[in-house]
């Protein structure tokens, strides 16, 4: 195969990026996953830059308060990035909250391969923040391969544009919400 049409630096950069992505997936899959619990268990895992809360397949977390991203480049995901079926459920048990995940003002956060249930059928409509909130002062938040439903407020996913309404390079591919 000839690479005559592509600059050598582009090929090397592309191979480096793919290598980094593969290495990240292998490391993430080797992490211990959280079996079930509350938002406190997830928030405990999300301490410091580059922290990850990796949830086990089939785990259920009852939320009494939001899961909060506290630093740059944190990740909330289900173990097994390459799997596409979604099994996790974050079911609210606090009838007074509307927000399950708060990722505002944190750069590079990732929410991936999870299912979020706001539990509207049990608790009804309520005025408050969206089920999932990201953006604000943070750059490059990513929400990938999620299913979100049962929102109790005005929106399932709110991508806050930040100060001055500037574009913040948000990525939200392959999601389902009701």
State the pLDDT at residue 165: 52
State the pLDDT at residue 11: 45
* Predicted model pTM: 0.73
State the pLDDT at residue 101: 94
State the pLDDT at residue 22: 44
State the pLDDT at residue 169: 57
State the pLDDT at residue 6: 46
C-alpha distance from residue 15 to each of 1, 6, 19, 22, 82 (Å): 16, 13, 6, 11, 19
Q: In the chain, which stretches have pLDDT less than 70?
A: 1-31, 81-94, 162-178
Burial 65-94 (b: 16+ CB within 10 A, else e): bbbbbbebbbbbbbbbbeeeebbbbbbbee
Burial 95-111 (b: 16+ CB within 10 A, else e): eebbbbbbbbbbbbbbb
Beta strands in 5-153 (DSSP E): 37-38, 52-55, 60-63, 67-68, 75-78, 89-92, 101-104, 110-112, 115-117, 132-135, 142-144, 146-149
Sketch the domain layout of the chain as residue ranges: 1-30, 33-177
């Amino acid at each position: 195969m000839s690479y005559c049409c592509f600059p050598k630096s582009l090929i090397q950069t592309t191979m480096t990026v793919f290598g980094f992505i593969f290495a990240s997936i292998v490391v993430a899959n080797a992490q211990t996953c959280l079996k079930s619990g509350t938002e406190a268990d997830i928030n405990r895992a999300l301490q410091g830059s580059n922290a990850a809360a990796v949830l086990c397949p089939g785990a259920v977390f009852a939320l009494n308060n939001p899961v909060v991203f506290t630093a740059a480049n944190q990740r909330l995901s289900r173990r097994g990035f390459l799997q596409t079926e979604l099994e996790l459920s974050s079911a609210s048990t606090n009838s007074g909250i509307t927000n399950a995940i708060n990722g505002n003002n944190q750069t590079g956060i990732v929410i991936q391969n999870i299912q979020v249930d706001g539990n509207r059928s049990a608790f009804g409509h309520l005025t408050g923040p969206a089920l999932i909130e990201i953006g604000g002062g943070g750059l490059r938040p990513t929400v990938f391969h999620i299913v979100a439903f049962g929102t109790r407020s005005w929106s399932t996913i709110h991508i806050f544009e930040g100060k001055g309404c500037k574009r913040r390079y948000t990525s939200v591919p392959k999601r389902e919400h009701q």
